[in-house]
Amino acid sequence: MNICFIMYPWEKIDPDNDTTLALIKECVKRKHGVAMCIPADLTIRNSVTTANCQVINRMEKTPSSLKSFYNKAELREEMLPLAGFDVIFFRANPPLDPIMLNFLDSVKDDVFIMNSLQGMREANNKLYTAAFGDAHSNIIPATHVSKSKRYLIKQIKESKADKMILKPLNGFGGSGVILIEKSAMSNINSLLDFYITNSDGSSSYVILQDYIEGADQGDVRILILNGEPVGAMKRVPGSDDHRSNVSAGGSVQRHTLTKEEKALCKQIGPKLVNDGLYFVGIDVIGGKLVEVNVMSPGGITYINKVYKLKTKIEEKVIDFLEMKVVDKLQAFDRRTRLRKAVEDA
């Protein structure tokens, strides 16, 4: 199998804890061909979508530790056609570049793409949770999305809760997430101006969400593969930050899925698969879905460490990709045989 990871730059990888690196290492360990590129490396050349890739040289023996693998990996540059790969694994950080997806549209029938382009178009921002049809806030907290300062202030004033969460629509890694309180309403106008108004005069949408009791104790990150949970961890905020994201200083603990969390996964799993969102990370607080991360969900290395898993999560992910490639090849062979039967008739 040959796989191309569309991701962030190699030099920006955290060699101790990076999920993408763990996936790449597993591919190299299995002797698959691995190439990497960033979205800006995509180009169209003679009507063929190509990428200026960094290709990892084959290794006789794959180092056991993630950091050793990162340090010993040898890279070479090659301009390669994307349609020649078996898999394109999208692992770039938000925000999603719609033009980049247009490049990939030209190869989506030739290559298995994880996650699907249409799925990413629909789910790349925090609006996707509204697609689960939860009118009574049974699985998602009451959520308002707007760029109208007047409307948002009205919702804050009318809320029965003393606290709410405000965050940008396209943020990631906990960036821009703040806790607002009714007791500090004098600051709301300036906060909303900062979040909504851009330097060029345009405006951006923000999300205002009911605060979930217990959020100060952390949230749960659940990794879902092909509609089924394959790992979970509890993320606990640091002493000086309300955010539980590890990138924001949070820590990680073991977590066993509750009955409510299992029911939540069962409820949303079929839609994720139907939308081609095969590998996602969901964030849950108090049994309620807060976010769905579809572009570059992390957590594999942390979950592996706190559980000391015998079968690592990256192994399950690459098993799934290998199965998809076999299915695609078998479907192609079957179609070829049927075409020949018609032509020979």
Model confidence at 249, pLDDT cuts 50, 70, 90, reads low
Residues 164 and 235 in one domain: no
pLDDT of 238: 67
Element (H, E) at 49: strand 48-56
Helix-helix angle 188-196:149-158, to 10 degrees: 140
Residues 84 and 14 in one domain: yes
3-class DSSP assignment, residue 217: helix
pLDDT of 272: 96
pLDDT of 178: 87
Model confidence at 303, pLDDT cuts 50, 70, 90, reads very high
- CA distance linking residue 248 with residue 174, whole number of Å: 7
How many structural domains are present in the chain? 3
Q: How many CA atoms lie within 13 A of 177 on its CB side?
A: 22
- Core vs surface per residue 192-213: b (16+ CB within 10 A) or e: beebbeeeeeeeebbbbbbbbe
CB 278 within 8 A of CB 114: yes
**What pLDDT, in 10s, does the model give residues 17-69?**
999 999 999 999 999 999 999 999 999 988 999 999 999 999 999 999 999 99
Reply yes or no on whether the pLDDT at 202 is more than 70. yes
Q: What is the domain extent for residue 284?
A: 216-313
**What pLDDT, in 10s, does the model give residues 170-187?**
766 667 888 888 877 878
Q: Residue 160: CB partners within 8 Å, gap ≥ 6?
A: none
Judge whether 309 lies within some domain: yes
Judge whether 132 lies within some domain: no
Q: How many CB atoms lie within 10 A of CB 238?
A: 14
Residues 42 and 12 in one domain: yes
What radius of gyration do the chain's Cα atoms show?
A: 22
- CA distance linking residue 179 with residue 243, whole number of Å: 9
Reply yes or no on whether the pLDDT at 246 is more than 80. no
CATH label of the domain that carries residue 177: 3.30.1490.20
Reply yes or no on whether the pLDDT at 241 is more than 60. no
pLDDT of 255: 93
Residues 188 and 249 in one domain: no
**What pLDDT, in 10s, does the model give residues 129-144?**
866 765 555 788 888 8
Judge whether 305 lies within some domain: yes
CATH label of the domain that carries residue 285: 3.30.470.20
Give the residue from 184, 210, 236 where a domain finishes. 210
Name the more confident of 1 and 160.
1
CATH label of the domain that carries residue 70: 3.40.50.20
Judge whether 330 lies within some domain: no
Residues 225 and 188 in one domain: no
pLDDT of 201: 82
Residues 166 and 96 in one domain: no
Judge whether 318 lies within some domain: no
**What pLDDT, in 10s, does the model give residues 61-114?**
999 999 999 999 999 999 999 999 999 999 998 888 889 999 999 999 999 999
pLDDT of 290: 87
Name the more confident of 167 and 272.
272
Chain mean position to CA 57? 27
3-class DSSP assignment, residue 12: helix
Q: The tokens of 112 are what?
A: 């298995």
